[in-house]
Structure formats: structure tokens, C-alpha cells
Chains A and B, each alone.
Chain A
Amino acid sequence: MKTKSILHSDPFNVIITGVGGQGNVLASRVLGNMALAKGLSITIGETFGASQRGGSVMSHLRLSKKSSVSPLIPKGKAHVVVALEPTEGIRILKEYGNPQVSIVTNTRPIHSLGVICGDQQYPSPEKMRQWIESLSKQAWLVNTTDAAMTLGNPIYGNIMMLGIVVGAGLLPLDRDDFQKALDRLMPASKIEKNLKAFDIGAGMAAGNC
């Protein structure tokens, strides 16, 4: 197992965040199984239940040589943030970010009830980009929802994000690990489309910054 040097930090901390119902949990399962496929240990902390009713959700993933580390990442210690919704990405950066953090974020907004009903203002795309860039070392902002719709379902957007993360070399994981994770988690009929989504994402990583 060449696990000794692949983690430049141990634990290596990834946060996947979004709005309840976006498929956070699935994305973290996939990433978790990718880590296992690589021979690493993984601990994932998640909040579900009430947060499904339109609330913020986050999954904390800790890639490590050790099993069972804290399922909650300490503040300011995220290495990579994967945001399925841009303001959720900002929310996470504020608490868990640091000058070295990398972030990949979807740009399609999901309005909170406060915004929908006019009590709150949803930030402009320009402002969000500005803030995200001020709070990270490198940032990828992509409308993965729209890209995913070309494959027929917004949920492929999450897989695309994983493709971007891997394609940009942010994680010590590769396409092989992804394939193995798919084999574990999904019926054969779904694998092709997921691989396609992943590859589209990896392609985006090269283009977008």
C-alpha cells in the first residue's frame, strides 16, 4: 500500500456541502468508497434528518491512514470544499476554511425560504465569486446543474464535481478509484452515465479556474 506519502496532511479533510435533497450523502458515499478503494481509511460525519426539510447539510470526510478519526472536522481545517450550492460553499469556507483551502462549487442557486419570501437577499454571482476567491487559495466555479441536465438529471452534477476535484488533482484519488466505488455502490446499468459525468467534470477541471 503506497499510502504513506499520498496524503500530504493526515487526516485529509474534505467537506461536501449543499442543501438538503441535493444528493450530499450519495456524493460522500462515493468519495468515501473511492478512499477505501485506494487503501485509505475514511471517516464521514453527516447531518441528516430535519435538515432534509430545506436546510443546510454538510458531510465531513476525513481521509487518513487511521480508522475512526473525529467525524467532525475542527474549524479552519478543511483542505478541500465541494459545494453543491454556492452560498453553502461560502458558509463552509467562513467556518472551516483557511488560506490554503481549495473549493469546487456549483454556481446554480437554491434559494432559502428567506430569500424566496423576500426577507433576505441572495448574493449576486459577482459578489459570490469575489468572496469565494477571497476565502480560498484556488476556486473552481461551474454550473454543474445545467451541465448535468444534458445527461438528464441534476444529480449527475454531483458526480461531475467529483470529476473536477480529481481532475484538478486536489485529492490523492483517481478515476480507477471512482470506478471501483461505482462498482460497489451502483447497479451496472447506471455506471456508464456516472463515468461520463465524471469525465466531463475532469475535463472541466482543466478548463476552469
Chain B
Amino acid sequence: MSQLLDPQAVTRLYMGNEAIARGALEAGVAVVAGYPGTPSSEIVQNLASVARERNLYVEWSVNEKVAVEVAAAASFTGLRSLCTMKQNGVDVAADFLLHLGLSGVRGGMVLAPCDDPGGLSSANEGESRQFARLLELPLLEPGDFQEAKDMIKWAFDLSEELGCVVMVRSVTRLSHASGDVILGELPSVEKKANFKHRPLPQDPQSGPMHSFPVPQKHQAQQRKLERAVEIFEASPFNTYEGPEQPELLVVTSSACTLYAREAIDLLGVQDRVGLLKLGTTWPLPPKLLGKHLKSAGQILVIEEVIPFLEENVKILASEMVLEIGPKKIMGKRDGQLPMVGELNPDLVIAALAGILDTPYQASSAGYAEAAAQVGEAGAPPRELAFCAGCPHRASLWSLSRALELDGRDGFVCGDVGCYSMAIFPTGFQLTKTLHAMGSGIGVTSGFGKLEQFGMGQPALAICGDSTFFHAAIPALVNAVHNQTNATLVLLDNSGTAMTGFQPHPGLPYDAMGNEAIPIDPVKICESLGAKVRIQDPFDLEQTEKCLLELLAERDGVNVMILRKPCALSPERKKTKDFEMSVDKQACLGESCGCNRLCTRVFKCPGLVWDSTSQSASIDEVVCIGCGVCASICPVGAIKKAEAAK
């Protein structure tokens, strides 16, 4: 039940992303655009759910660059707009943002990237903060859930005052964490869109939006940042708590603030350590910083992931050295904190305890020993796996077999989505290259042009339906145009599954649940001149046969579309096609002739090895009745019966 529109002054338990969404509503946002990416997706989802009531346009754009463009257009007409994505979405949008920084904005525009330190749900732990500095945009970082809401609201005002897009960066431990938030007022705002593209001398908010002449626009942009600094010097989002002359000054931002506070508490060093929490982290306010650096004995910068804040503090400290004196500034570069991975209270405690020479023990030595004795046997690690009934498992099974039978040391170039897990045993470790969205077919198109250098290994790209629209189409164009011999296997499971099943341009509805025009990947591929075959991945025999034929062809680009909805999709979740069972007498189990093909290799979580009866069996709670395992059993011991409808 949505609490997003609850009234002013009540306290609600909000996820960080909900708080951000609420902040945008309180700011009177009109247009929201993004691309699904953990940990950001709930922001758009929440706003989409109230789009009608709050008169919003909410869009899942085809990719982050277009999302920023859509949001920018709204801003140009004077509307307030919000754009959300995960950290590497900013990389995708960077070219546009670079020019947006120069052209400026009209209605407030906030870019809210949500970073994933440690890469818990990403193939990287890249940072969006760097883009603020690189693209010369102001950067804010909320330090808790209340700020996640309040800062967004303020960011819109700031954006309009400066005429610049403002970045508000969140992280997993804020976006996906929850805390109590006191709600503010939901305004009734008149939202009128008009793009004043004709320049009027008396109206600075008129004229075309572009970056020419470049040096002048660049200078204007830098002036905006100077103005931002003035504002930041007095911002209530920069706070200090602690003694006037701390032995150690901690400079921090974002969720790290919460770890730092906890660490100071647990170590009982409140009278030795000062905590300077920065909400405005680019550009840094030098006066504020200088004041606190000067009165500190030494300094520790706590942040994640790379030493962005640390390096910027060091630059300022060096500029101000005559005023503040030389200071020891610790952080990641000197190894107090790791250069990679997520931070947590324990890493911060360890750094502080070390610097302050304060002993700390997480738990008693006896407990630690008891825990060590339990060891891994007590809690076998859980590897990631495709869900029971996942069409990717079936597709990758056939792909794996086809490549081995083809026998030319072929391989798969992977892409981003659930099927990224094809690098793991659950996907038979089939994927041999994995990088960014759409890069599977891009890299494959590269491999396909190396025949003149003796490259005889066939390369296959796999790509999901959402990824196809996001970034694969230009690479496909490249492959066709350059007459590459390549095969793209499009794994079409009717949604953006990995991030929570959001819609994409292949589907007939949009983020807000309204009707939308579905775009057919088959028609796109055919019109590009690729040869297209469509197959049901659950028909293992046919899929394998078709793949072998495509692998043998050496005449241009083939696209095989393996089409089956995701096991978690609304269409499939409620229905069981088959009731599955194992004939234990017929099951060969571990003996030569099978050696547990289903539980050792295929590894669907619905199939369990029963060591008592030395046979496979079906876990009825997990099995969703897709029937694929019946096709792989060498002796037909796995039975499928039509389920009652």
C-alpha cells in the first residue's frame, strides 16, 4: 500500500529511494525519466505509481542517455524534472551531460544516480561522483534518509538558482535501506510547459539551449560553480559535531557518515574526534573546510569507493597550506581504508581504532573461536543461480552443447542482465567476455572480422530484450554493414528482469501502466538485413539444431531469438504447465550413463539430489513446472504430466 502520498508532518518508514521520490514530489516535479538499474529502480517505480494523481509524466527510457535528454527537454520548458539511474548509467549519459553543463537548464533538473559500492548488483563499482567534477556540475550527497528527501527538494531550488543540472548521489546503503522520515508538504503546482527558444533581451530564461560559443559558455558554467560554492559555505547539509579542536577530524559524506558516527560511539571517542559531514561534495566549500582543517590535529577522510573526496580535500589543503598549516590527511591512499569495495562500520572502526590507538574487539575471543569451529560446514555458501524455470538456463544449455558439438573452440560474448550469470556454473560458465550494456554484439562484431588473421573460432553474442533496445542496435548495424560473420542470440523474456521486471520498448505498456507501442526486435533485425530465426528455448532439440546450422553459416549476421517469458513474470508466476516427478527406479543417479546430469550439471533449484534413495527428486515448493528437465534425462526418468488448469 503506497505511503508515498501520506500527509505532511507524519513520520513514515521510507526506503531511501522512496524518500528521494517523495522529495521530488514535494519539489513539484513534473517529468521523471530513468533506466532500470539497481539500486535506483524504485525511484521511478514509486513515482510512476502516483503519476496520475500528481500529474507526472514518468518514463522508463530506452537508455540513460535518452532518459537525461527527456528530462532535459522538460527542464527547457520550465518544468522540473528528475532523472535516475545506477552508477554506470551516468557513463552512458555523460556525453549529453557534458553539453548540458554548457547549455544550462531552465526548470530545476536533478540527476539522481545511485551507486553500488562493492558491485553487489553490478559488474563494476564505478563512481558517479567523478562525473560531477569531470563535467563541472554541482554534487550533493544525502547522509541519511531524511536528507535523501530534503536534499532532493533543495536540489531543485539550487538547480533553478544556478541554471544548472544538479547531481544528487545516493548509494545502496541509503537507496535500499530504510529509516524514518518526517514528510513535508505536497504542493499543488501549476505545471505549464513552454520552451522560450526565441531570445528576449529582458528575459535571461529565454533563447536556444546549446553550448556555443564554447569558451564563454564554459566560463558561465564555472561561474555557476563559484556561486554554488558561496551557497555551500552556508548550507545546513554540511554539519559538524565534536570538539572545537579535535585530535582527529573525520571528513565524510553519504552513508559513510552513519558508519563514522557509529564507530565514534562504539569506541567512545566523542571527545577526541570531530565529524565534519559534507552534503555538498563538489565543489567543496573552501572556507568551511579550511576552518575545520585548521583546528584539527590530523584528518581522516571516509568515503566510498575511490578517494574522490580525499583528493579534493588534499587539493584544497595544499592551496590553503599557508593558512591552515601542513596537515596529515589520511584515507584510502595511505591504506587506512581499502581502495575497493563497500565500506561498513567495522572497517571504519578499525581505521579509527588504529589511528587513535584504542583497542576494540567485535566479540569475545571465546565466541570467535566457537564461530571458527563451526566453520563453513555450518553455512554452505549460496551461489547465484537462475530461478527454477528460467528460460536462460534452457537457452544456455543448448548454446553450450551447440558450441561443443561445433568443435571449433567457439565462445559466447555476454551482456548485462540476469543472463550475465552465464559466467557462473549456473550458466555453464559459457560467457567469456562481459562488459557493458550492448557490448556482447559489439565485441562479437569485432571477433567476426578477424578471419584474415586466422581467427577460426566462432563467436556468439547473447543479449536480452531490454539490453537490445538500450545499446545493442548500433552494434548490430555495425555488424551487418561490415559483413561480419556473427550470430546474435537474443534472449527475449519479455521484460527487464534482473532489476525487477520493468517494461521496455518491446512491450505494449509503459512505466505508468498506460498503453504504449511495442517495437518488434524481429522486424528491426530483419530490416537491418540480418537473418532471423525464432525458437522456443524450451524445445532443446530444435534450438540446438538451429544453433548448429547458424554456427556453420559464414555469410553475415544471423539473429536467433529465443523467446519465452521470465519465470518471475506475471504471465508465468501463477501457472504451472506440468507436474514433474522422478521415477526413482529408472533414475541412474551417480552411475556411469548419467552421473547426476540433472542435479550436478543442469542444476535447476527445483531438482534435488536425494542421497538416501540415490536418485534425483523434485522440490515441489521450488519447481514451477516448466518441464525442461524431462528433456535432458538420458533415460526419461523425469516425468512430466499436464498440470490441472
Contact = CB atoms under 8 A, between A and B. Distances in A.
The answer to A–B direct touch (Cβ < 8 A) is yes
Interface in B178-206: 178-180
Interface stretch (A106-114, A159-167, A169-177, A198-206): A106-114
B255 to A, nearest CB: 7
Contacts of A43: 145, 177-180, 258
Given A53-B421, A71-B177, A76-B363, A118 B609 contact: yes
Contacts of B179: 41-44, 67-68, 71
Nearest to A185: B1
Contacts of B367: 76, 97-99, 135
Contacts of A49: 38-39, 120-121, 176, 498-499
A208 B424 CA distance: 41
A113 B499 contact: no
Nearest to B376: A120
Interface string A73-98: 11111000000000110110111011
B515 to A, nearest CB: 27
A117 B387 contact: no
A46 B364 contact: no
A3 interface: no
Interface in B380-394: 380-387
A98 B144 CA distance: 28
Given A90-B379, A116-B607, A186-B1, A42 B178 contact: yes
Contact of A69 (B1, B258, B611): B258
Interface string B355-375: 000000111101100110010
A55 B173 contact: no
Interface string A45-79: 11111110111100000000001111111111100
A119 B346 CA distance: 32
A49 B17 CA distance: 14
Contact of B13 (A42, A118, A135): A42
Contacts of B146: 67-68
A67 B145 contact: yes
B363 A91 contact: no
B378 A87 contact: yes
Given A43-B179, A121-B380, A131-B374, A72 B596 contact: no
Interface string B588-622: 00000000100111010101110100000001010
A23 interface: no
B242 interface: no
A44 B603 contact: no
Interface in B563-598: 596
Given A42-B180, A68-B145, A185-B1, A73 B378 contact: no
Given A117-B609, A118-B596, A185-B1, A112 B621 contact: no
A147 interface: no
Q: Which of B3, B378, B383, B426 has the most chain A CB atoms inside 10 A of its CB?
A: B378
Interface string A99-137: 100000000000111111110111100011001001100
B377 interface: yes
Q: Which of A55, A71, A115, A120 has the most chain B CB atoms inside 10 A of its CB?
A: A71
Contacts of B381: 112, 114, 120
Nearest to B371: A94
Contact of A74 (B120, B144, B362, B370): B362
B573 to A, nearest CB: 12
B380 A72 contact: no
A134 B370 contact: yes
Interface stretch (B73-81, B259-267, B286-294, B516-524): B259-267
B11 interface: yes
B345 A70 contact: yes
A84 to B, nearest CB: 13
Q: Which of A113, A185, A186 has the most chain B CB atoms inside 10 A of its CB?
A: A113
A111 B382 CA distance: 9
A36 interface: yes
A155 to B, nearest CB: 12
B483 interface: no
A24 interface: no
B349 interface: yes
A154 B13 contact: no
Contacts of A41: 179-180
B336 interface: no
Contacts of A187: 1
A144 interface: no
B399 to A, nearest CB: 19
Nearest to A10: B265
B55 interface: no
Given A87-B379, A123-B377, A70 B363 contact: no
B380 A114 contact: yes
B39 A55 contact: no
B209 interface: no
A134 B263 CA distance: 28
A43 B11 CA distance: 13
A97 B13 contact: no
B379 A97 contact: no
A98 B363 contact: yes
A76 B362 CA distance: 5
A77 B363 CA distance: 8
A44 B19 CA distance: 14
A71 B255 CA distance: 8
B278 to A, nearest CB: 16
Contacts of A72: 173, 259, 344-345
Contacts of B145: 43, 67-68
B262 A70 contact: yes
A71 B386 contact: no
A116 B39 CA distance: 30
Contacts of B603: 113, 116-117
A19 interface: yes
B418 interface: yes
A158 B608 CA distance: 24
B608 A50 contact: no
Contacts of A111: 605, 608, 619
A47 B120 contact: yes
A32 B364 CA distance: 29
B262 A117 contact: no
Contacts of B349: 74
Contacts of B3: 184
Q: 4 smallest A-B Cβ distances: which pairs?
A: A76-B363, A68-B144, A49-B121, A76-B362
21 contacts: A32-B13, A42-B178, A46-B178, A48-B38, A49-B176, A49-B498, A54-B605, A55-B384, A70-B255, A72-B173, A74-B345, A88-B379, A90-B374, A91-B378, A99-B363, A99-B366, A114-B380, A114-B382, A116-B599, A118-B599, A128-B378
